Structure 1
Amino acid sequence: MEPTQPAEDLSVTQQLPIPEFGDPEDPGDEAPDGSDTVVLSLFPCTLEPGNPEPDAGASSPQGGSSLKHSTTLTNRQRGNEVSALPATLDCDNLINKPDEHGFTPLIWASAFGEIETVRFLLEWGADPHILAKERESALSLASMGGYTDIVGLLLERDVDINIYDWNGGTPLLYAVRGNHVKCVEALLARGADLTTEADSGYTPMDLAVALGYRKVQQVIENHILKLFQSNLVPADPE
């Protein structure tokens, strides 16, 4: 973006001389035209022991002009109004407040693997069920990054393990796509659906085979085998 010109000309018709790092009490030389020139130099003011503090309203010896000592501006003078006292802040709304993408602090922390932050937010009431604008969830983004510990924390809060976002993925599909073996195991152990297809038509097994992720493929095969074994009904001895 090209720089814009200021709305007003901030230059002065008579340029003040550049102050030198000399004696801060030196009033400066007199201007050639006989008028008084005030030179301001920025120096820390240290009061001598026994010397009274100068009167802020006292007149300067420069032709009667008044120079007031700088004072510390308050927040109200600067225009910084306190909108709410800390004791009256709505912590529930702040902790679940989404940004322009619909991401809450919990979703961001899950996406970047900040497990201590995730644990802290959950303890303070962060809602793990909130979805972003494209239905991204904290669980999906944690699975995408392979953050198995965070996945476990979120699953303890009964989040939807098969949540399908608008990018065409579920937590299990994202974990397979990232070749996150431990995360795939954790999701399958909690009942993630192996039949859900991505937008491309791939199931988690199809995706593992297509990408050549042999360990992920083996984890899925072992899980399927356990499902078959658990569904076998003992034959009637008679």
Structure 2
Amino acid sequence: MEGGGAAPAVRGDARQLPAQGGDGAEGEASPEEPAGTGGGGAPRGGSGRAEAGAPPKPSATSTDRQRSTEVSALDSFPLRHSNTLTNRQRGNEVSALPATLDTLSIHQLAAQGELSQLKEHLRKGENLVNKPDERGFTPLIWAAAFGEIETVRHLLEWGADPNALAKERESALSLASMGGYTDIVIMLLERNVDINIYDWNGGTPLLYAVRGNHVKCVEALLARGADLTTEADSGYTPMDLAVALGHKKVQQVIENHILKLFQNKELE
């Protein structure tokens, strides 16, 4: 969102994140598979390096107990689907050739909505459900970015942290708002995530929803208390951005919301 009415964007969003369709529409969840590609376009596994100040590695007994608990948690949540089309429901039982499916990282499986394989993958290690990749993206952030609503639902049930932030403060809520995935936005807000969370250039979920002309998503965020006065680093407020981009329906939604706020204040 630099000068001339440009909008806030997660760095490299056009190449690395889902295409922005209409509200609730799902982007194609097919990040590139090779790890280590330049520019970070594909979900990639974490580096495997221990974090500074990490606690000592648990004993074999405590590790077995933890894994047993995690497996029990996975078993308690059968896979089920809503009316929202996921990758599997669109007829893509698998999004990769069977010969290569087992080589995909947990982040790629989450982005592609491969629920069965994702569930099996989570059994293999310690706390993989919140494992960040090289950019700090967790499986939940990838699933939210690609509009995989059932994957988001199950990851949350399996203990994924909805407040996790990537290295440049990207969040599941901001990326879901960018894609216009209103159902995912509402699901995350029900987990009490920060509705006004900002990223490296000051972009908030509301600013990203406005930028993408996602009317329903803007309505949902405003109804739940998103701040209309927050500015991105370029100085744009949500209304400024809607005007600059010519998003008239979004402008109307914001104007109606402001009018309602004034009416409620007069009644106090």
TM-score with structure 1 setting the length = 0.61
1:180 maps to which residue? 214
% of aligned pairs identical? 83
1:208 maps to which residue? 242
2-side partners of 1:163 and 1:142: how far apart? 13
Of Structure 1 and Structure 2, which has the larger fraction of its residues in helix?
Answer: 2
- Residues 174-212 of structure 1, C-alpha deviation per residue, up to 9 Å, x if partnerless? 000000000000000000000000111110000000110
Instruction: Choose the corresponding residue for 1:93, options 127, 132, 149.
Output: 127
Amino acid at match of 2:233: D
How many residues are matched? 152
Show structure 2 runs of 5+ residues with no match: 1-59, 71-125
Higher relative contact order (CA 8 A, sep 6+): 2
Q: Does 1:122 align with 2:156?
A: yes
- Residues 77-97 of structure 1, C-alpha deviation per residue, up to 9 Å, x if partnerless? xxxxxx998983784721000
- Alignment root-mean-square deviation, CA: 2.1
Q: Does 1:152 align with 2:186?
A: yes
TM-score with structure 2 setting the length = 0.54
2-side partners of 1:86 and 1:107: how far apart? 27
2:175 maps to which residue? 141
Partner SS for 2:156: helix
2-side partners of 1:135 and 1:117: how far apart? 22
Cα distance change on mapping 1:86 and 1:113 into 2, 3 Å: farther
- Residues 151-194 of structure 1, C-alpha deviation per residue, up to 9 Å, x if partnerless? 00000000000001103200000000000000000000000000
Q: Does 1:225 align with 2:259?
A: yes
Show structure 1 runs of 5+ residues with no match: 1-82
- Residues 82-115 of structure 1, C-alpha deviation per residue, up to 9 Å, x if partnerless? x998983784721000000000000000000000
Q: CA deviation at 1:233?
A: 3.9
2:146 maps to which residue? 112
Instruction: Choose the corresponding residue for 2:224, options 186, 190, 204.
Output: 190
Larger Rg: 1
- Could you list the runs of 4 or more consecutive aligned residues of structure 1 that deviate by over 6 angstroms after TM superposition? 83-87
Q: Does 1:171 align with 2:210?
A: no
